[in-house]
Amino acid sequence: MKFTSSSFFLVLTGIIFIVLSACGSSDKKTVTTKQSAGGANRQMSMRVDAYVVTPTMISEKIEVPGTLIANEATEIHPEISGRIVRLNVAEGKFVSKGALLAKIYDGDLQAQLQKLQVQLDLANTNEQRSAQLLKIQGISKADYDASLLNVSNIKADIDITRANISKTEIRAPFSGKMGLKNISPGAYVTPSTVLATIQQVDRLKLDFTVPEKYSSQITSGKIVSFTSENSGKTYTANVSAIESSITETTRTLMVRAVVQNKDAALIPGSFAKVILKFDPDPNALMIPSQAILPQARGKKVITYDAGIAKFVDVTTGIRDSARVQILSGLKPGDTIVITGLLSVRPESKIQIARVVNRK
């Protein structure tokens, strides 16, 4: 069989095409093999450090602002309008309950009282005459009743006048320390006028607020300690009353305590730093603070579950320089991831390289 030159050229071209195709297939296999190897590398478990959640005893202490107030405090107002004829406000001095602080002019009331007393004498005389005439049926029972009613009306007017006279005397409502006076003798005052203030400073109270989360731990009789800006000493107070509800705007609970110490450095209105210590919690779950992943809504931690990374929502409580308390989301014995947090993905494979502070 004879081959022409054109036939020979076609056979040679076919051989070259087959060789090139074989080389291309080999290159594709090589690339596919490399890609598979790279994928296998990506599927390898990431090595991380872990921490085992263990119950720990903690003693919680918080500081909240407070204000010192007098046991009793009020403004001194007159009950009626009039001119001050005597002023006995001893500024900055202690006064006893019932002490006369000021006197309002009462000459008109005294004159009215004398007039009524004269009218009462005359009314009594008429009533006695009417009683005698009634016995002999000289007048009717209605006439006698009218004279008796007149006596009663005059007596009532006298009582009213005497009450008004007593209102011209302004007295201390309780024993306490007087403030600065706001008027002078001869001033015309009305019930809205503030003559001075009086405070019972021999016994002080302490008002402070507690965050809502601690409200259940504040009870009557609890002892709290505080410091004042006016003194470097530490004082104690006994919780005497608790507000019936939580303030919605601040989510806090108002508490009032009675100060146990007497010190001239403690002045009503002063700022106080209240220190609250709560009972130790032997089962608190404390984890390293770097294990917390802040989220747009809430916080998460990564747990180790049979080689798989699980992202768990948690609620945190108090914290210190290196740890934070977990209130919900974890339980004792859970293993959490504390390194490589930004590289770990949900449901990815992880491998523990080292357990930190395991107890």
| Any domain includes 9 | no
- Confidence bin at 81 (pLDDT 50/70/90): very high
For residue 332, the 8-state DSSP code is T
Q: Distance (Å, rounded) from C-alpha 170 to C-alpha 102?
A: 5
- Confidence bin at 282 (pLDDT 50/70/90): confident
Burial class (CB in 10 A: 0-12, 13-18, 19+), 108: exposed
Q: Residue 30's pLDDT is what?
A: 44
The type of residue at 18 is: I
Q: Which of 219, 202, 199, 201 is nearest to 210 (CA)?
A: 219
pLDDT in tens, 40-79: 444 567 889 999 999 988 877 888 999 999 999 999 999 9
Site of tokens 């008004």: 164
| Any domain includes 178 | no
What CATH number is attached to the domain comprising 149? 1.10.287.470
Query: Last residue of some domain: 258, 277, 296?
Result: 277
Examine the domain organization and report whether 255 and 285 are in the same domain. Answer: no
Examine the domain organization and report whether 287 and 270 are in the same domain. Answer: no
Phi/psi at 333 (nearest 5 deg)?
Answer: 95, -15
What CATH number is attached to the domain comprising 205? 2.40.30.170
Examine the domain organization and report whether 152 and 205 are in the same domain. Answer: no
Strand partners, 8: none
170-179, 259-268, 318-327: which range is least confident on average? 318-327
Please give the average per-residue pLDDT across 139-152, as a whole number: 93
Please give the average per-residue pLDDT across 144-160, as a whole number: 95
CA 86 to chain centre: 45
Q: Where are the alpha helices (DSSP H) in the chain?
A: 5-42, 107-135, 141-167
Say yes or no to pLDDT of 36 above 50: no
What CATH number is attached to the domain comprising 321? 2.40.420.20
Examine the domain organization and report whether 266 and 303 are in the same domain. Answer: no
Q: Residues for the chain: how many in total?
A: 359
Examine the domain organization and report whether 264 and 289 are in the same domain. Answer: no
Residue 338 domain boundaries:
46-58+281-355
Query: Last residue of some domain: 277, 310, 337?
Result: 277
For residue 151, the 8-state DSSP code is H
Examine the domain organization and report whether 205 and 271 are in the same domain. Answer: yes
Examine the domain organization and report whether 287 and 265 are in the same domain. Answer: no
Examine the domain organization and report whether 308 and 348 are in the same domain. Answer: yes
Say yes or no to pLDDT of 352 above 60: yes
| Any domain includes 187 | no
| Any domain includes 177 | no
Q: Residue 57's pLDDT is what?
A: 85
Examine the domain organization and report whether 223 and 285 are in the same domain. Answer: no
Say yes or no to pLDDT of 169 above 90: yes
* Helix pair 107-135, 141-167: axis angle to 10 deg: 160
- Confidence bin at 16 (pLDDT 50/70/90): low
| Any domain includes 326 | yes
| Any domain includes 213 | yes
Q: For the chain, how many structural domains are there in total?
A: 3
Q: What is the percent of the chain where pLDDT is above 70?
A: 87
Q: Which of 94, 109, 293 is nearest to 199 (CA)?
A: 94
| Any domain includes 27 | no
What single string gives the DSSP state of each residue in 80-141?
S-EEEEEE---TT-EE-TT-EEEEE--HHHHHHHHHHHHHHHHHHHHHHHHHHHHHTTSS-H
Examine the domain organization and report whether 272 and 340 are in the same domain. Answer: no
- Confidence bin at 14 (pLDDT 50/70/90): low
Tokens standing for 312?
């768990």
141-172 in b/e burial notation, b at 16+ Cβ within 10 A? eeebeebeebbeebeebbeebeebbebbbbeb
Using CA atoms, how far residue 47 sits from 36, 52, 262, 300, 312, in Å, is: 22, 16, 63, 20, 19
Examine the domain organization and report whether 299 and 346 are in the same domain. Answer: yes
How confident is the prediction for the chain on average, in pLDDT? 86
Please give the average per-residue pLDDT across 36-41, as a whole number: 45
pLDDT in tens, 307-348: 999 999 999 887 877 889 898 999 999 999 999 888 889 989
Examine the domain organization and report whether 290 and 272 are in the same domain. Answer: no
Q: Residue 22's pLDDT is what?
A: 52
Query: Last residue of some domain: 277, 295, 321?
Result: 277
| Any domain includes 88 | no
Say yes or no to pLDDT of 297 above 90: no
Which of 68 and 214 is assigned the larger pLDDT? 68
Q: Residue 33's pLDDT is what?
A: 44
- What contacts 24+ positions apart, CB below 8 Å, involve 190-193? 190/78, 190/81, 191/77, 191/78, 191/79, 191/80, 191/81, 192/77, 193/77, 193/78
